[in-house]
Amino acid sequence: MTTSIARPQAASTEMPPVPLTLEGYGVLHQMLRFRWSAWRPLRPSQKTEAIHEASGLLAKWEQNANGQSALFSMLGHKGDLMLVHFRPSFDELNQLELQLSRTRLNEYLEPTTSYLSVIELGLYESTLKAYKTLAERGIEAHSEEWKREIEQTIARQKEAMRPRLFPEMPKHRYICFYPMDRRRGEEKNWYTLPIEERARQMSDHGLVGRRYAGEVKQIITGSMGFDDWEWGVDLFADDPMVFKKLIYEMRFDEVSAVYAQFGHFYVGVRRSWCELGKLLNGQNS
Ligand code: 76R
């Protein structure tokens, strides 16, 4: 308390605008079109070999201890297959992309799109607390002491949040993935709102979301600097109608109603590596 008197007054009024975030697994979504017309004329033995090689790779990835992958059969024209990979580093994501490219099956796979991001937990609530406490103690934002304190806050949170930053691949039957931005319009601009106001809206957002806790698993990934939108949203559920209900309800929530802008939506049905042959040939092989 007494120390704040000795410090410059300005320090206590400056609150950095950026919320603290925690980063976990790197995430790559690959949307792939299958070249049915090139595949169909292959001899059965060629098909079997290609499927064995690719499903061997998928089996390994699906069971990987340190970040898993999942295969989805996509609905609609945006692709036939979607692969979702969680890995501790971009190097590993890059390696598995290359491994897939080197398979025989890759001859028949065409990327329709992809998305690179990293699992992100936004810490609005604890950010506000930490910034306020530091300001009250008269510690100037971005000073060495401030950075040390913030680093400690992040390290503590990261330890506590480890299971959410490095999750297992959800086992639900359906996935819904879409990228999104927060609006930066002339009238409405998320990035010019005071941090307290953004924290309030995010807290309301969390309350709506938590009502769906048992039915939907949500994984938010951040993609600023990595891909064309600011976030990627992955929802996993055993009933796809839950996606519609949750997303509809969220549209009325202030932060979505006023500030959300959406990219394309991708929906898929989960398939195990051992079902790849069935997907491509209509039978197990
Ligand atoms: O409470 C918590 O621990 C987490 C709170 C939380 C954050 C920080 C949370 C909860 N989300 C957060 C961040 Mn979310 N979320 C979306 C969408 O369709 C739309 O309108 C928006 C897309 C859905 C459906 C959704 C669902 N969320 C974010 C961010 C980062 C923004 C930032 O940091 O500025 C985005 C872009 C975003 C978007 N959110 C939840 C859900 C659900 C279901 C929850 C509750 C999860 C749970 O508690 O299990």
pLDDT confidence of residue 60? 98
Containing 109, the helix (H) or strand (E) segment is: strand 109-122
This prediction has a pTM of 0.93
If you take atom 10 of ligand 1, which residue's CA is the nearest one? 206
Give the distance (Å) from ligand 1 centre to CA of residue 223.
15
Give the distance (Å) from ligand 1 centre to CA of residue 5.
40
Burial of 213 (C-beta count, 10 Å sphere; 0-12/13-18/19+): exposed
pLDDT confidence of residue 1? 42
Q: Of the residues 119, 165, 250, 253, which should be mutated to test ligand 1's pocket, given the most ligand atoms within 8 Å of the CB?
A: 250
pLDDT confidence of residue 203? 97
- What CATH number does domain 25-119 carry, 3.30.70.1030, 3.30.470.20, 3.40.50.2000, 1.10.3720.10? 3.30.70.1030
Separation in Å, CA 6 to CA 1, 11, 55, 139: 10, 11, 66, 11
Residue 90 · residue 98 · CB < 8 Å: no
If you take atom 42 of ligand 1, which residue's CA is the nearest one? 209
Atom of ligand 1 nearest to the CA of 216: 43
Distance (Å, whole) CA 105 – CA 84 = 17
Give the distance (Å) from ligand 1 centre to CA of residue 251.
12
If you take atom 28 of ligand 1, which residue's CA is the nearest one? 220
Distance (Å, whole) CA 250 – CA 230 = 18
pLDDT confidence of residue 14? 72
pLDDT confidence of residue 13? 53
Residue 32 · residue 109 · CB < 8 Å: yes
If you take atom 6 of ligand 1, which residue's CA is the nearest one? 206
- 3-class secondary structure per residue, 250-263: HHCCHHHHHHEEEC
pLDDT per residue rounded down to tens, the chain (285 residues):
444 444 444 444 578 999 999 999 999 999 999 999 999 999 999 999 999 999 999 999 999 999 999 999 999 999 999 999 999 999 999 999 999 999 999 999 999 999 999 999 999 999 999 999 999 999 999 999 999 999 999 999 999 999 999 999 999 999 999 999 999 999 999 999 999 999 999 999 999 999 999 999 999 999 999 999 999 999 999 999 999 999 999 999 999 999 999 999 999 999 999 999 999 998 654
Give yes or no: 108 in active site.
no
Pocket (CB within 6 angstroms of ligand 1)? 122, 180, 202, 205-206, 209-210, 212-213, 216, 218, 220, 231, 233, 246-247, 250-251, 256, 260
Q: How distant is the alpha carbon of residue 181 from its chain centre?
A: 13
CB atoms within 10 A of CB 111: 12
If you take atom 2 of ligand 1, which residue's CA is the nearest one? 206
pLDDT confidence of residue 6? 43
Atom of ligand 1 nearest to the CA of 203: 5
